Amino acid sequence: MTLDPGLPSEWARLHKLSPLLRSSRAVVALGSVVGTRQLMPGQHSNAWFDLGAVGLAAIAGTISWLVTRWRIHNGELQIETGWIRRESLRVPLTRLQAVDVVRPLLARMLGLAEVRIVVAGQGSGRTRLAYLTEDHAADVRARLLALAHGLEGDTPEPAERPVLSVAAGRIVRANLLAPGPLVLVAIVVGALALLAVNPTAGAALGGSAIALAVALALGLARKIGAEWDFTIAEAPDGLRLKAGLLQTRAETIPYGRAQAVRWVEPLLWRGPKWVRLEIDVARRRDRDRAEREAGASTRALLPVGSAEEAGWLLSRVLPGASVTPPPGSQVPRRAGWRAPLMRHNLHAWHDDAYMVCVTGRLRRCVVVVPLAKMQSVRWTQGPVSRALGLATVHADTAGHRFPGSAPCRDAAEAAQWMQLVPDLARDARQRAVKR
């Protein structure tokens, strides 16, 4: 049944090799425990017990596969899983925020892939189909997106047009031009210097320095691996982002689902004039660690690129948005008392479609919030701001990664915004509904 193309309207199982992959992690962990115990001298363990544990993990994986089934019914994706505690997930496809195809290394070797369905709200970590064959996963993604856009389920996958890719060399250089690697170099140099001056102290501290350096290097390698071979393709149903060296990940972000976009200019990237573009969709912060790591590493719309590339991409996601501050958008001079280091970067402005806030001391960040997506507007004023005649305006969105806050505005201007922005947001919402 899994060989049927497209979406099953009757209950179907996942791919036959799924239990192997899903329990592989447990098996590897158990295997390493068994291995070390066998190697340890003097500790005689019961080999049958260890084998039994591995077998149990495999059986549990198989049972989990046997009781998991899914189908598309009444415009909903339905997933039923669990043996002792049955779980039944119903995802209305019109509520779909994004669809990811993730391929971990082991799955890639077997030609399998996992489909993750991102919806607004909690528990999006569980709405996943793991695993399907790669072709089937691509097909399922296309059909889910077609259904989400209100088209027929068997609409052929729209052709995608690759528009932008980031060269591997630039990814590596960009990741090296970050605080982490500098700290790494500092640690190595410091350890060597200490070793030359005072060998005993150097040797004592060397161990922890090496451990720290290894941890930093591993983190760096993982980040480079996650951003490796980054390509963006444009399709009628949204932007496709693909990246990854060992584990590849393909995301589709449907148009009009961006809650906010952030444009980041780190201090060390000012030389090569690079920027990073990040996107926020409506998705709760996940408790699942793997999901959080993956989400943190790939929610970049563009991990590194020139200002022109980023500007072009921004205009695709939020048409008409600009990140260049218009004259008069800077905070008043007296805001320097409240934010002495940040003042020169603090800008904010709005038009009838977007509210844009610039913040950051060393790392300049521009957050663009479409007014049509704004959930509420808040005004706050602390005692220092009140004495200086300043106030902060916040634009709350359903995204959870970066807040849209315009700090230290002139109080009169902030008051004017509080009257204007809710009405502009209402009009923007109505325009979005009509379209």
Tell me which residues touch other proteins (CB under 8 A).
95, 97, 120, 257, 259, 282, 373-383, 386, 391, 394, 396-398, 400, 403, 411, 414-416, 418-419, 421-423, 425-426, 429, 432-433
Between 141 and 283, name the residue whose CB sits nearer to other proteins: 283
Whose CA is closest to 365, among 417, 313, 402? 402
Query: What are residue 348's DSSP bridge partners?
Result: 357
Nearer to other proteins, 115 or 118 (CB): 118
Provide the minimum distance between the beta carbon of 332 and other proteins in the complex, in angstroms, as a whole number: 17
Which is nearer to other proteins, 107 or 279 (by Cβ)?
Answer: 279
For the CB of residue 61, give the shortest distance to other proteins in the complex, in Å: 36
The minimum distance between CB 284 and other proteins, in angstroms, equals 8
Minimum gap (Å) between residue 400 Cβ and other proteins: 6
C-beta of 312 vs 379, nearer to other proteins = 379
In the complex with other proteins, which residue's Cβ is closer, 319 or 382? 382
Using the CB atoms, write b or e for 188-211: b if 16+ within 10 Å: eeebeebbeeeeeebeebeeebee
Total residues belonging to the chain = 435
Quick one: 395 exposed, middle or buried, by C-beta within 10 A (0-12, 13-18, 19+)? buried
Q: Which is nearer to other proteins, 95 or 273 (CB)?
A: 95
Going from the C-alpha of 411 to that of each of 274, 414, 428, the distances in angstroms are 35, 5, 25
Nearest distance, CB of residue 218 and other proteins, angstroms: 32
In whole angstroms, give the CA distance from residue 167 to residue 109. Answer: 25
CB of 430 to other proteins, least distance (A): 9
Q: How far is the CB of 153 from other proteins (least distance, A)?
A: 21
Structure tokens given for 46? 């019961």
Residues 6+ apart with CB under 8 A from 208: none
Coil, strand or helix at 108? helix
Parallel/antiparallel/unpaired status of strands 248-254 and 96-103: antiparallel
**Within 13 Å, how many C-alpha atoms sit on residue 285's CB side?**
3
Residue 217 neighbours by CB under 8 Å, 6+ apart: 184
CB of 428 to other proteins, least distance (A): 10
Assigned token pair, 103: 């391929």
Give the C-alpha separation, 348 to 404, whole Å: 10
Cβ closest to other proteins, residue 233 vs residue 348: 348
> 61 or 370: whose CB is closer to other proteins?
370
Report how far Cα 393 is from the mean position of its chain's Cα atoms. 26
Q: Name the nearest CA neighbour of 58 among 21, 14, 85, 33.
A: 21
Provide the minimum distance between the beta carbon of 194 and other proteins in the complex, in angstroms, as a whole number: 46
CB–CB of 381/387 below 8 Å? no
Structure-token pair, residue 66: 């046997």
Nearer to other proteins, 63 or 120 (CB): 120
